[in-house]
């Protein structure tokens, strides 16, 4: 009995030590990401939240205002801009599951007034077209296309002026002037107007205000007590700046606020990420679903895009205000979610945030390794046999295709000669004659899932580039 107890205690101690080491590595990865992002984005303040396997990790770097030593905390309130769209999407998802809306409904069934213009050659816009950013609208509401063509350092003043004056009456008047330039459900076009129209529809089917629906169905349930559209006026928003250090104004919105008026904290956003990672929640699952059965990326309910790669499904959303930006990503099948907030907004900020999220994701998912050795192919007498094996812990039904893109086919994932054949649920194979490749030359390649999910070469593959894009190497 004494020996059994000793073994039990030792096992517990080892497990504890391993857990602490794993958590330390998470913080190290966060610190490294923040350091690189700080240099690239020039942000005063960076806040990073990670949810991994049910545990939450947060860190804040820099200072909100230069020289004031005011580092952000989990309770600092930021504008999260278009992250708001995910909340609107969840409400629409719930309405569908509750039978208040049908995905195939003509949207005009739920809009107050008559809009004969909202169809294309007799084909109406459906709810699933609306939430997928595929209405076919020829313009946004309000229409800011001209402003976006000629952006400069003072453009924000013009955007701010439009937002302050534009109201619901003008929204519905402009909705009557919309023309559909393509068949609904076929062409992606980002649109704030689609979100505010969805908010109007939700109000009509529930007979409650959009803000009430938000509070009752999401904010209260998740105890996101510091999140809302209209917060207490005594609550201070974190300052945000442009690249030149000019203090930027906050977002104005006299519509529903469903496209980008939400304010939140990193503490609350990690609660939201936890919710989005709940693969058993029917509302969440519906909001991330491939509604239009796309063979590549899809949008679920108002996500920027959802794709599949070696870590399964991953869902992306960017939010950009005048002085802050936020990138949020979740990997439901890996139980990983990340939110990074910076208090700077510039034309290059989104790219810097995207790179930071990818870098941090790769570091935190590096544990999902493959066996060491030559990865991705084997050689026979006359052929190169390419082999991709998808992780058996991931859903193979999300894969529509696997292709090979490389230096030998101009990195084209649509090349018909390099589409792999599914051998079983998780394994894809393609046999190519050696004669298709020049001998004694180094060929680079990657596997691509659904024409969009470019697979990262495993760290322990001996035929992996040591720098650059870390492509796989083929040479014989």
Q: Identify the helix (H) or strand (E) that includes residue 6.
A: helix 2-41
- CA pair distance 353, 350, nearest whole angstrom: 5
Cα-based torsion angle of the residue sequence 250, 252, 256, 257 in order, rounded to the nearest 10 degrees: -20
Given a contact cutoff of 8 angstroms between Cβ atoms, the answer to whether 398 and 442 are in contact is: no
Average pLDDT over residues 262-270: 98
Q: Is residue 9's pLDDT more than 60?
A: no
Q: Is residue 16's pLDDT more than 80?
A: no
Secondary structure (DSSP) of 341-384: EESB--TTHHHHHHHHHHHHHHHHTTTSPPPSBS-SEEE-SSEE
The helix/strand count (H/E) of the chain reads as 11, 18
pLDDT band at 370 (very low <50, low <70, confident <90, very high): low
Q: Write down the pLDDT at residue 469.
A: 86
Q: Is residue 448's pLDDT more than 90?
A: yes
Given a contact cutoff of 8 angstroms between Cβ atoms, the answer to whether 78 and 342 are in contact is: no
- CA pair distance 147, 156, nearest whole angstrom: 9
pLDDT band at 371 (very low <50, low <70, confident <90, very high): low
The tokens for 383 are 């052929």
- CA pair distance 166, 346, nearest whole angstrom: 24
- Closest Cα to residue 323, out of 148, 48, 78? 78
Above pLDDT 90, what percent of the chain? 87
Average pLDDT over residues 155-182: 94
Q: Write down the pLDDT at residue 10.
A: 53
Q: Is residue 1's pLDDT more than 60?
A: no
- Closest Cα to residue 229, out of 207, 216, 214? 214
Q: Is residue 313's pLDDT more than 80?
A: yes
pTM: 0.94
Q: Write down the pLDDT at residue 5.
A: 52
Pairing of strands 421-422, 427-433: antiparallel
- 218-250: b (≥16 Cβ within 10 Å) or e: bbeeeebebbbbeeeeeeebbbbbbeeeeebeb
* C-alpha dist (Å) from residue 76 to 68, 73, 233, 296: 15, 5, 15, 37
Task: State pLDDT tens for residues 322-343.
Answer: 999 999 999 999 999 999 999 9
- Closest Cα to residue 52, out of 82, 19, 75? 19
Asked if the peptide bond before residue 142 counts as cis, ω within 30 degrees of 0, the response is: yes
pLDDT band at 156 (very low <50, low <70, confident <90, very high): confident
Q: Is the dihedral of CA 226, 229, 234, 239 positive or negative?
A: positive
Average the pLDDT over each of 190-199, 238-247, 466-475 and give the range with the smallest value: 466-475
Task: State pLDDT tens for residues 85-144.
Answer: 999 999 999 999 999 999 999 999 999 999 999 999 999 999 999 999 999 999 999 999
CB atoms within 10 A of CB 379: 12
End-to-end CA distance of the chain: 60
- In three-state secondary structure terms, 79 is strand
The tokens for 431 are 């046999």
Given a contact cutoff of 8 angstroms between Cβ atoms, the answer to whether 144 and 308 are in contact is: no
* C-alpha dist (Å) from residue 300 to 212, 283, 293: 23, 12, 10
- 411-444: b (≥16 Cβ within 10 Å) or e: eebeeeebebeeeeeebbbbebeeeebeeeeebb
Secondary structure (DSSP) of 249-280: PPP--BS--TTT--EE-HHHHHHHHHHHT-TT
Q: Write down the pLDDT at residue 62.
A: 98
Q: Is residue 465's pLDDT more than 60?
A: yes
């Amino acid at each position: 009995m004494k020996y059994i107890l000793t073994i039990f205690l030792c096992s517990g101690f080892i497990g504890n030590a391993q857990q602490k080491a794993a958590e330390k590595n998470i913080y190290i990865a966060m610190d490294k990401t923040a350091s690189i992002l700080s240099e690239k984005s020039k942000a005063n303040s960076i806040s990073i939240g990670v949810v991994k396997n049910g545990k939450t990790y947060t860190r804040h770097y820099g200072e909100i205002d230069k020289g004031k030593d005011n580092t952000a905390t989990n309770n600092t309130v930021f504008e999260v801009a278009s992250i708001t769209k995910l909340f609107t999407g969840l409400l629409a998802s719930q309405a569908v599951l509750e039978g208040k809306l049908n995905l195939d409904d003509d949207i005009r069934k739920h809009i107050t007034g008559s809009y004969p213009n909202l169809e294309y050659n007799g084909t109406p816009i459906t709810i699933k077209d609306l939430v997928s950013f595929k209405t076919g609208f020829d313009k946004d509401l309000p229409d800011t296309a001209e402003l976006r063509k000629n952006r400069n350092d003072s453009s924000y003043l013009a955007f701010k002026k439009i937002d302050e004056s534009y109201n619901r009456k003008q929204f519905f008047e402009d909705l009557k002037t919309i023309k559909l330039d393509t068949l609904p459900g076929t062409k992606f076009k980002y649109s704030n107007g689609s979100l505010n129209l969805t908010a109007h529809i939700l109000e009509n089917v529930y007979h409650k205000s959009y803000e009430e629906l938000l509070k009752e169905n999401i904010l209260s349930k998740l105890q996101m007590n510091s999140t809302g559209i209209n917060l207490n006026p005594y609550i201070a928003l974190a300052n945000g700046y442009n690249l030149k250090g000019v203090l930027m104004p906050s977002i104005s919105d006299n519509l529903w606020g469903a496209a980008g008026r939400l304010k939140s904290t990193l503490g609350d956003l990690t609660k939201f990420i936890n919710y989005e990672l709940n693969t058993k929640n029917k509302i969440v699952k519906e909001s991330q679903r491939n509604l239009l059965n796309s063979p590549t990326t899809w949008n679920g309910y108002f996500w920027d895009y959802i794709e599949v790669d070696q870590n399964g499904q991953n869902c992306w959303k960017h939010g950009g205000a005048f002085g802050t930006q936020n990138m949020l990503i979740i990997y439901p099948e890996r139980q990983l979610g990340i939110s990074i907030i910076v208090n700077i907004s510039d034309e290059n900020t989104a790219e810097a945030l995207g790179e930071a999220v990818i870098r941090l994701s790769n570091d935190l998912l590096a544990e999902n390794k493959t066996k060491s050795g030559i990865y991705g192919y084997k050689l026979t007498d006359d052929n190169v046999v390419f082999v991709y094996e998808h992780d058996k812990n991931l859903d193979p039904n999300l894969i529509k295709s696997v292709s090979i893109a490389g230096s030998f086919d101009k990195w084209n994932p649509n090349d018909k000669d390099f589409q792999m054949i599914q051998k079983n649920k998780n394994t894809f194979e393609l046999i190519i004659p050696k004669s298709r490749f020049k001998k004694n030359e180094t060929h680079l390649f990657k596997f691509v899932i659904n024409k969009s999910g470019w697979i990262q070469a495993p760290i322990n593959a001996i035929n992996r580039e040591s720098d650059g894009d870390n492509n796989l190497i083929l040479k014989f």
